[in-house]
Structure 1
Amino acid sequence: MQNLTIVAKDYTGLLADITELLSQAQLNIQNIGAQKVETTALIKLQSCDAEKAYQLLTDAGYHVVSRAGILVRVLDESGALAKISRTLAEASIDIRGINIVEHHDGFVIVSISCSDSDKARDVLGKMVL
């Protein structure tokens, strides 16, 4: 089982849409939790077939981050990504992939795939969602 995090614009019925999509593919949800950050929903779930769930959700247009990735929230300003990149580099953490997944109210949610997610969570501290 692998953890997946779905990052989506929050709206009434979002959980219904996601759970119905997985149900139609006969994917069982083992665990699910959700939180709202401003107008963005972060839905964390575990499925017995995470690869299939990941593919299904991304094909449906959702931004999905696997356990190998982390989500951080930073100010939407010049130099914010440079600061994150430098902080991780100084901690000897290799960034393998980075994507901006949401902009809202002066903040950006960024997905980062790196060589040591646990260490990155510790190093980035309160920025991690």
Structure 2
Amino acid sequence: MKELHVIAANQPGVLAGISDALYAENVNIESIVAESMGDNGVIRLLTRDAVKARKALEGLGYKVMDSDILVLGLADKPGELARISHLLGENGVNIENVYLLSKEQNTTFLAMRVSDYNHARKLLVREVRD
């Protein structure tokens, strides 16, 4: 899955415009994180149709960056994040960001951007969900 990064003005209506543009292209947002940083805002969103999403956002004049994201399914119990964090760190893979996507029954789903996507994917083959 791709994580799209958009830097936008921190002002009312920006997120509405972005979500309208994605809706117009029938792009579903799987997850979104938005935060303000002074006069700007950073919006990170996950979608299964990054090409259409990028086109829609660039059509609004935004510069869009993307990165590959691991979607992981972990047992919903203490220590699971520690376990995979140690495994990645001990193998030289840096975790650049991580956030909760959802919890379903006994599984916690996380999105994770790492410094070496392919290596992390091999290390976490049992946990990766596409």
Question: Quick check: TM above 0.5?
Answer: yes
- Structure 1 residue 101: deviation in Å? 1.2
Structure 2 residue aligned with 1:75: 75
SS in 2 for 1:127: coil
Structure 2 residue aligned with 1:4: 2
Identity %: 22
> Contact 2:69 / 2:111 at 8 angstroms: preserved in 1?
yes
Structure 2: which amino acid aligns with 1:50?
R
Structure 2 residue aligned with 1:39: none
SS in 2 for 1:109: strand
> Contact 2:22 / 2:53 at 8 angstroms: preserved in 1?
no
> Contact 2:101 / 2:111 at 8 angstroms: preserved in 1?
yes
Aligned-residue Cα RMSD (Å) equals 3.7
Structure 2 residue aligned with 1:46: 50
Structure 2 residue aligned with 1:92: 92
| Residue 69 to residue 51, structure 1, CA distance change in 2 (3 Å) | farther
| Residue 28 to residue 100, structure 1, CA distance change in 2 (3 Å) | closer
SS in 2 for 1:88: helix
Show CA shifts across 1:26-80 (max 9, x none): x597xxxxxxxxxxxx962231552855xx9xxxxxxxxx542211001000000
| Residue 78 to residue 67, structure 1, CA distance change in 2 (3 Å) | same
SS in 2 for 1:47: helix
| Residue 93 to residue 48, structure 1, CA distance change in 2 (3 Å) | same
Query: Looking at CA atoms only, which structure, 1 or 2, has the larger radius of gyration?
Result: 2
- Structure 1 residue 4: deviation in Å? 2.9
1:122 aligns with 2:126: no
Of 42-51 and 69-78, deviating more is 42-51
| Residue 103 to residue 48, structure 1, CA distance change in 2 (3 Å) | closer
Structure 2: which amino acid aligns with 1:45?
D
How many residues are paired up?
Answer: 93
> Contact 1:93 / 1:120 at 8 angstroms: preserved in 2?
yes
Structure 2: which amino acid aligns with 1:4?
K
Mark the runs of 5 or more structure 1 residues left unpaired by the alignment: 6-19, 30-41, 57-65
**TM-score (norm. length: structure 2):** 0.56
> Contact 1:28 / 1:47 at 8 angstroms: preserved in 2?
no
